[in-house]
A and B are shown apart, each in its own frame.
Chain A
């Protein structure tokens, strides 16, 4: 899933400066799972902003709606009746995709309330970790199911750098060295010979360097 976390309250507060009525929109997708932008967080953020405004003597009106997903037009359409003339801006608690979908759909300022972090998963309650850099050309079959693109700080494709020690990455002692993990795993699987192959240079045009990407599934496309 996409993992995000809330921006500092002060930063969001500054974004909506001058607005009298704000539509605060949560998302029921990934950001609900990572406890950053679901219905609950939407309510808490709206309340915090109202209180802060109250103290500043400039009361704020908020309307809170949580869509099933902000990254699907059919759900984004459902917001229409809430986007009334008196709404000064929209605050999205979706990931960056949600923010952009709302901005594309409605002629109002749309602000991000979250920092969208990465594609990852839950490794412990309240702890999420990045697992994929969305490179568009997966190599996991050659690296024992561990991603070197994102889990190695240098995205090395041919084995560990000279800073790998005691299983930790040179960049951060808290982070396992991806190549130690890959080595251990391939050893376990009896596939160490894999690591002697010189990996060809990567085709980053399939990653974000090639510009925005598209996935088409023609069999389900409407004529």
Chain B
């Protein structure tokens, strides 16, 4: 039984294999791009993540962007990092987002500010992502603010998400960390983009062993590569594993973009067959236009 008004939760509870994608808000104050992308993705995905100052670069607010999506009829998942806001601001934004119609929130720690366009900024990290998950749950289920004060009426009722990275270290701890997030209240999990399927398989085996796939919906992350250069770059990103074989395949391809899509579609097919994977999360960073093609080719929608 769904615990919230989230459509995403409803679909998952019905056992649908869900598709989520991502929209990165722009580095300016126009919503035109977001609205365009929302329109584009509307019939192909079940919900769209709105990133929150992704890679610590200042962008249009994720909550504002989520409202633009809602107006286009797309269900948003607001990402919320603990890097930029303390517990007061986070809870205030949760109330605000809910009042505007947002029903899904994804709790993250966020990339360190040293990677962004304000590397000399002071960070916050007042609470961490696990504690944020627990806070959202506390506000919803106990009708309380983090301080213990009662929310007398209209508590925000979010469907709570978190991320997991099967490719970061310490590897064996990753599943425990997932369990911890689920214990704290996470109901759906989106993973880091998967290129190394063997490692993901091993991780999923550990997830199933602990029964975690039954306690939270695991959405496997995928990213279509645009070029061999992009693949090589991804190899250098902390917490990412891209096998050399994929880089090679991209290098040899006559049409790199088409090959990137092909690889992504193959991955989705394989991921779909893994027990415990409840959906896919397509992160086509700066390439949102390709998502419908991927969804169709992978046979996830017959539009």
Contact = CB atoms under 8 A, between A and B. Distances in A.
Nearest to A177: B169
Interface string A191-209: 0100110111110100000
B184 interface: yes
B34 interface: no
Interface stretch (A100-108, A156-164, A212-220): A156-164
Interface string B64-105: 000000000000000000010001000000000000000000
A189 B100 CA distance: 49
B146 interface: yes
B51 interface: no
Per DSSP, chain A at the interface is: loop
B128 A171 contact: no
Contacts, number: 103
Given A171-B114, A198-B184, A154 B109 contact: yes
A78 interface: no
B173 A195 contact: yes
Interface in A98-130: none
A157 B180 CA distance: 12
A130 to B, nearest CB: 16
Interface residues of B, number: 35
A192 B130 contact: no
Interface residues of A, number: 32
Contacts of B165: 162
Interface stretch (B19-27, B42-50, B119-127, B224-232): B119-127
Contacts of B183: 196, 198
A180 B220 CA distance: 25
Interface in B172-189: 173, 176-177, 179-180, 183-184
B239 A198 contact: no
B267 interface: no
Contact of A198 (B126, B167, B180): B180
B176 A180 contact: no
A167 to B, nearest CB: 6
Given A154-B125, A180-B169, A198-B131, A162 B180 contact: no
Given A180-B169, A195-B173, A163 B111 contact: yes
5 contacts: A159-B130, A161-B129, A162-B239, A171-B114, A198-B183
Minimum-distance CB pairs A-B, first 9: A162-B165, A170-B238, A158-B130, A163-B238, A156-B128, A163-B239, A162-B239, A159-B177, A155-B125
